[in-house]
Amino acid sequence: MTDATVPAAPRDARPPGGLFITFEGGDGVGKTTQAALLDDWLAGRGRAVVRTREPGGTDVGVLIRDIVLHHRGDVAPRAEALLYAADRAHHIATVVRPALERGEVVIQDRYLDSSVAYQGEGRQLEAEQIRDLSLWAAGGLLPDLTVLLDLDHTAARRRLDADDKPFDRLEAEREEFHDRVRERFLAIAREEPDRFLVLDASRPAADLAADIRARVETLLTGVSAARGSVGAHG
């Protein structure tokens, strides 16, 4: 294997049932707020929900999160990408796939698109290689829906400043870095329109939540119809 080669991404062995929803976007766009609102809505409808995040959705992931986001000193870009991939491999295998196999809804803050945007574009590594690495780590698993909350960096930074918390390693990057990240997110969404719901994150949170619920409702209807079809022929 040459230096420019990563393992080929496997085919997605998608667990039957369940629904995998990810939230993406730059720092400060409101992913946590919308994930919580969707979680509450689904729980109110009697759906079993697993809400998680990358990095940090497992005990191993918490340790990796501390390295990639809070380590004092430099982390080489390729090492950073590999640490995110390691977190992803363990997280998908131990949290996400088991939940999907149980027929639950997984709501996740960040997934492979963040690696493509932050490491592939922000760190100026090869975006396609980062995507292939992420898919290999995750066994080819793609979300049923990715909600991209889009907001310009200036507005997002004002929100982060209002939180009055220290910036992590990625939040502290220069404006040019975050501009590249945002453009890559939008490019990925254009390439995969069926998977993405792109929303203007400057809109009121309640309006965004309504749009997300409408899209998820459609997906849930499809999952229910598929299960009914299987049951009728099983």
What pLDDT is stored for residue 17 in this prediction? 75
H helical segments located in the chain: 31-44, 59-70, 77-91, 97-101, 112-114, 127-137, 153-163, 175-191, 205-233
Of the chain, the percentage scoring pLDDT greater than 90 comes to: 67
Q: Can you give the pTM of this predicted structure?
A: 0.86
Query: Of how many residues is the chain composed?
Result: 234
- Check pLDDT > 70 for residue 3: no
Report the mean per-residue pLDDT for the chain: 88
Residues 6+ apart with CB under 8 A from 95: 50, 52, 57, 58, 106
Q: Which range scores top for mean pLDDT: 165-169, 176-180, 197-201? A: 197-201
Among 9-13, 109-113, 131-135, 201-205, where is mean pLDDT lowest?
9-13
Among 83-87, 144-148, 176-180, where is mean pLDDT lowest?
176-180
Distances (CA, A) of 148 to 20, 53, 68, 132: 14, 15, 22, 20
Q: How many CB atoms lie within 10 A of CB 209?
A: 19
Instruction: Return the CATH number of the domain spanning residue range 19-226.
Output: 3.40.50.300
Domain spans in the chain, listed from the N-terminal domain onward: 19-226
pLDDT-derived band at 71 (thresholds 50, 70, 90) equals confident
- Check pLDDT > 50 for residue 2: no
d(CA 228, CA 39): 24
pLDDT-derived band at 167 (thresholds 50, 70, 90) equals low
What pLDDT is stored for residue 27 in this prediction? 85
Q: Which range scores top for mean pLDDT: 59-73, 143-157, 188-202? A: 188-202
Say whether the peptide bond before residue 77 is cis (omega within 30 degrees of 0). no
Distances (CA, A) of 54 to 58, 108, 233: 9, 7, 38
CA angle 173/175/179 to nearest 5° reads 110
**pLDDT tens across 4-20, in order?**
555 655 555 566 679 99
Over range 208-227, report the average pLDDT.
86
What pLDDT is stored for residue 1 in this prediction? 42
What pLDDT is stored for residue 28 in this prediction? 86
**pLDDT tens across 74-112, in order?**
889 999 999 999 999 999 999 999 999 999 999 999 999
Beta bridge pairs of residue 200: 150
- Check pLDDT > 90 for residue 36: yes
Chain centre to alpha carbon of residue 176: 22
d(CA 225, CA 229): 6
CB 83 within 8 A of CB 158: no
Going by C-alpha positions, the residue among 143, 67, 138 that lies closest to residue 105 is 143
Sign of torsion over alpha carbons 60, 47, 232, 215:
negative
